[in-house]
Amino acid sequence: MSNILVNIKGLNSQEFPKGVTPLQIMTDTKGVSKDSIICKVDGVLTDLSAQLSNDCELQFMDSKSKDGHSVLLHSTAHLMAQAVKRLFPKTKVTIGPYLENRFYYDFDVETPFLEEDLAKIEAEMVNISNENLEIIYEVKSRDEALSFFDNIEEDYKVEIINDLDEDEILKVYSQGEFTDLCRGPHVPSTGTIKHFKLLSSSAAYWRADENNQTLQRVYGTSFQNEKDLKKYLNMLEEQKKRDHRKIGKELDLYFFDDEVGPGLPLWTPNGAVMIDQLEALAKEKETASGYLRVKTPHLTKGELYEKSGHLKHYISSMYPAMDVDGIDYYMKPMNCPHHHKIFANTPKSYRDLPYRLSEYGTCYRYEKSGELFGLMRVRSMQMNDAHIYCTEEQFKDEFIGVCNLYMDYFKIFGIEKYEMRLSLHDPKGLGEKFIDNAELWKKTEDDVRNALKSANLKFVESVGDAAFYGPKIDVQVWSSIGREFTLATNQVDFAVPERFDLTYNDNDGTSKTPLCIHRAPLGTHERFIGFLIEHFGGNFPLWLAPKQVIVLPVSDKYNDYAEKVTKDLKSKGIRAYLDKRSEKIGSKIRDAELQKINIMIIVGEKEVENKTVTIRRRFIKEQKELSLDNFSNEVLTEINERRVSN
């Protein structure tokens, strides 16, 4: 038998007999970490049980590496599937991929899993892990694989195989009695998987299609050691504490009421302050950037949405029409058609462009009940909306201008974790989901891509996520429990202006149709505030905080002075409150801390005498005594600069 030369990364090259497996090399070679669970052969992720037949470069990896962790997660999904099959033999398995730090597996089961079931499954997983079953794979022909899975009645696997390309190499993994179709690779044995936790179970549709069978999805996580697992689970717990639904209640920012309706938030005085601040910021920025503000009604005839195409594309998520004197009226689901009307109301010259109309109009959308989610997904929403009408030549600058505007906002809020997504059309949806003009789509998408590239903005592309009238840039963020949301959006519309006969006279005297950019850098104010609540964990920067200052008299004796101080601050526009309760100072401080109020002012005998205030900032025990004027000047500066740090 001939030998092959294996260059083990981090060690020397060594000769091994042809057909040797990385697992054998790992066991026999000093210096290779016994924690390795997977390897790369010439850069390709490979099972440790794969036979090596050529000279190669071999890199061992443990599950601390990103690739290694993905494999561990994936193998844990298989481990779970095996446990499920043991406990519920009639289950049919489907797919079980890994995600970031998590995995899931979808099962077709007779009855959905309950929480007790998850505990049972987890216990069986521990058993299988202890059995330390070797995980091996075989390459099968299409026919062999089909007859195998058909025989064990794994219908979904049969369907998957039938849908795969003819030349796809089919791998079948086995661990003990459990066999699954899978691309792999996997860890060498079930004993490798020791530190895992099932997180939740829920429903999911087969192939993500709501017309298909409902499956049960179980999510879980898995790590190389107990410490990392605990750390991750702790992190999840910590994140839950930032949930805007929880903090929104604790800080009394907004609520929903059964008699008002689901998805229709009521903003309390505290929350309304935040909306006001957001609006003030946006108005300031937009005025500086040449936007003109408009106001339009909440209710409009169906005719308008017929023309815009919204009725065709979105009727199922609009509130049903109300009949007024025999005519259908709708709650407005977006502002654009109204803005188009305003554009068209007076003749436009090329000198008027770019023409930027902005409005924080409240729109109403009948989101499906199951889609509602705190402030992130609501049925009445205030859009941070504007439409920019411009020439093709102006398009690039305007588009980049909008992107820069929201980057500017993100900087103000210290938002760093987001992803810009260029959403493109899917040619398959032309004429249906997307306006039927393949050439124009291509041209516009290229324009947007080029604009982004020239501005050095990083982005990913996503086919099929465009609006029906054009491509868009969405800024994606994640809620504290990990759900993804579009926070800001910037969209090109090459179709609707024409439907509205929007024109301008160009410098050569001809009439032309402008392009329209729909943009909402702060998305909806509901969602943006929801996001900010989680982003700051309720610890808002001073300028945004509903309650900026609370005055705490040491005892009732100093209430008069405290009252004077509070009044003075209020007169300067500072959101100051007074806590006159007959409580000890420690108790008042505790309550102010729990309410996450930025600044506490303590006044007692000393302050009355010195005509000063002693301040204590949220989370900071050190105190500072200074004159009221100095204090209010400092506070006003911090507010005006919209400073983010504490």
Q: Within positions 120 to 159, which residues make up the interface with RNA, using CB under 7 A?
A: none
Residue closer to RNA (CB basis): 151 or 211: 211
CB of 315 to RNA, least distance (A): 8
Q: Which residues inside 553-572 make contact with RNA, applying CB under 7 A? A: 554-557
- Which of 88, 205, 232, 350 lies at the binding interface for RNA (CB under 7 A)? 205
Q: Given the structure tokens 């947007």, which residue do they identify?
A: 448
Are 349 and 505 within 8 A, CB to CB?
Answer: yes
By CB under 7 A, which span of 145-153, 171-179, 212-220, 279-287 interacts with RNA?
212-220
Q: What's the CA gap between 611 and 616, in Å, rounded?
A: 17
By CB under 7 A, which span of 38-46, 64-72, 109-117, 347-355 interacts with RNA?
109-117
CB of 594 to RNA, least distance (A): 5
Q: How many residues bind RNA (CB under 7 A)?
A: 79
Q: Which residues inside 165-204 make contact with RNA, applying CB under 7 A? A: 200, 202-204
Q: What's the CA gap between 601 and 552, in Å, rounded?
A: 6
Residue closer to RNA (CB basis): 483 or 567: 483
CB of 581 to RNA, least distance (A): 6
573 binds RNA (CB under 7 A): no
Q: Which residues inside 48-107 make contact with RNA, applying CB under 7 A? A: none
Q: Which residues inside 374-403 make contact with RNA, applying CB under 7 A? A: 374, 377
By CB under 7 A, which span of 47-55, 56-64, 108-116, 137-145 interacts with RNA?
108-116
269 binds RNA (CB under 7 A): no
CB of 179 to RNA, least distance (A): 26
421 binds RNA (CB under 7 A): no
- Which of 230, 295, 298, 368 lies at the binding interface for RNA (CB under 7 A)? 368
Task: Classify strands 612-617 and 38-41 as parallel, antiparallel or unpaired.
Answer: unpaired
Angle between helices 269-288 and 392-413 (to 10 degrees): 140
CA distances to 343, 388, 506 from 352, rounded to whole Å, are: 10, 11, 10
Cross-strand partners of 485: 477
- Which of 10, 17, 19, 112 lies at the binding interface for RNA (CB under 7 A)? 112
Strand order in the sheet with 170-175: 135-140, 170-175, 178-181
- Which of 228, 367, 426, 634 lies at the binding interface for RNA (CB under 7 A)? 367
Residue count (the chain): 646
- Which of 48, 318, 473, 569 lies at the binding interface for RNA (CB under 7 A)? 318
Q: What's the CA gap between 250 and 268, in Å, rounded?
A: 12
3-state secondary structure of 77: helix
Q: What's the CA gap between 208 and 63, in Å, rounded?
A: 30
Q: Which residues inside 617-636 make contact with RNA, applying CB under 7 A? A: 619, 621, 623
By CB under 7 A, which span of 141-149, 208-216, 293-301, 349-357 interacts with RNA?
208-216
Q: Helical H runs in 253-381?
A: 269-288, 302-308, 310-314, 336-345
Q: What's the CA gap between 600 and 344, in Å, rounded?
A: 53
3-state secondary structure of 14: strand
Q: What's the CA gap between 218 and 391, in Å, rounded?
A: 51
Q: Which residues inside 220-259 make contact with RNA, applying CB under 7 A? A: 243, 245, 249, 256, 258
**Contact string (CB under 7 A) for RNA, positions 447-476, x = contact:** ------------------x-xx--------
CB of 205 to RNA, least distance (A): 4
- Which of 12, 162, 507, 582 lies at the binding interface for RNA (CB under 7 A)? 582
217 binds RNA (CB under 7 A): yes
Q: Which residues inside 501-540 make contact with RNA, applying CB under 7 A? A: 518
Residue closer to RNA (CB basis): 8 or 475: 475
By CB under 7 A, which span of 4-12, 36-44, 139-147, 329-337 interacts with RNA?
329-337
- Which of 11, 45, 321, 372 lies at the binding interface for RNA (CB under 7 A)? 372
Residue closer to RNA (CB basis): 371 or 629: 371
Cross-strand partners of 59: 40
Cross-strand partners of 490: 473, 519
- Which of 6, 247, 550, 600 lies at the binding interface for RNA (CB under 7 A)? 600
CB of 181 to RNA, least distance (A): 21
Angle between helices 525-536 and 269-288 (to 10 degrees): 110
482 binds RNA (CB under 7 A): yes
3-state secondary structure of 444: helix
Which of 33, 92, 83 is CA-nearest to residue 58?
33
432 binds RNA (CB under 7 A): no
How is residue 325 annotated by DSSP?
T
DSSP E strands, 94-169: 103-108, 135-140
Residue closer to RNA (CB basis): 224 or 595: 595
Cβ neighbours for 508, distance < 8 A, ≥ 6 positions apart? none
371 binds RNA (CB under 7 A): yes
Q: What's the CA gap between 463 and 453, in Å, rounded?
A: 18
Q: What is the DSSP string of 598-637?
A: SEEEEE-HHHHHHTEEEEEETT---EEEEEHHHHHHHHHH
263 binds RNA (CB under 7 A): yes
3-state secondary structure of 503: coil
The widest CA-to-CA distance across the chain, in whole angstroms, is 98
